[in-house]
Amino acid sequence: MMNGEKVIDDILELSSDLLDAVSFSLFLVISNPNHQKYVDANIMAELVSNLIDSMKKLKSNQTFNIKIHNLIEFIDYSVEILITVKECAEEIGISLPPYLNLLIDKATKLFEELPPHLQHHRYNTQKRNKTNNQKIYIEIPIHQISLRR
């Protein structure tokens, strides 16, 4: 088991790296014209919404412990997005940098070493396996989508 300070340091470092990695890889895949055949809008919309919510919670005025919980939640969603995006990238034929795999491995190891009271945040993979049979690929012309606020 890792000691408390080391866990928190690792969580903070990983969150920052994951934020860059998720942004980069997600936008690389979505900006590819073939992404609509491979990105499951149902799962990806949920993951992105949850990721945004976890970051919004982090910015709100919470206690330090709750912030750490929120960061773990953020890591959880980020890893899930990275794994999903990696699968899509492989199907589309895009090469993503190898450091993404290192980040996924690092997060997986961190989750395994988390103290028990923080482990309950790790639930995405199980949830995703349940929804895997209900994929809704986007497959719609981009001009049909309005992004106006």
Q: Which of 130, 133, 141, 143 binds other proteins (CB under 8 A)?
A: 141
- Token couple for 39: 């990105």
53/33 Cα distance (integer angstroms) = 28
The least CB distance from residue 58 to other proteins, in Å, is: 6
**Which position among 21, 25, 38, 44 is part of the footprint of other proteins (CB under 8 A)?**
44
Instruction: Let me know: does 143 contact 35? Beta carbons within 8 Å.
Output: no
Site for other proteins (CB under 8 A): how many residues? 36
Stretch 61-100 residues interacting with other proteins (CB under 8 A): 64, 67, 71
Q: Does 30 bind other proteins (CB under 8 A)?
A: yes
Is residue 134 close enough to count as binding other proteins by CB under 8 A? Answer: no
Which residues 6+ apart lie within 8 Å of 51 measured at CB?
Answer: 22, 74, 77, 78, 81
Other Cβ atoms less than 10 A from the Cβ of 116: the count is: 7
CB of 59 to other proteins, least distance (A): 5
Listed in sequence order, the DSSP H helices in the chain are 4-30, 41-59, 64-92, 99-113, 116-119, 124-131
**Site membership for other proteins, residue 26 (CB under 8 A):** yes
Q: How many CA atoms lie within 13 A of 48 on its CB side?
A: 13
Phi, psi of 32, rounded to the nearest 5 degrees: -80, 130
Task: Between 93 and 141, name the residue whose CB sits nearer to other proteins.
Answer: 141
Residue 59 interacts with other proteins (CB under 8 A)?
A: yes
Q: By the criterion CB under 8 A, which residues form the site for other proteins?
A: 5, 8, 12, 15-16, 19-20, 23, 26-27, 30, 36, 41-42, 44-45, 48-49, 51-52, 55, 58-59, 64, 67, 71, 136-141, 144-147
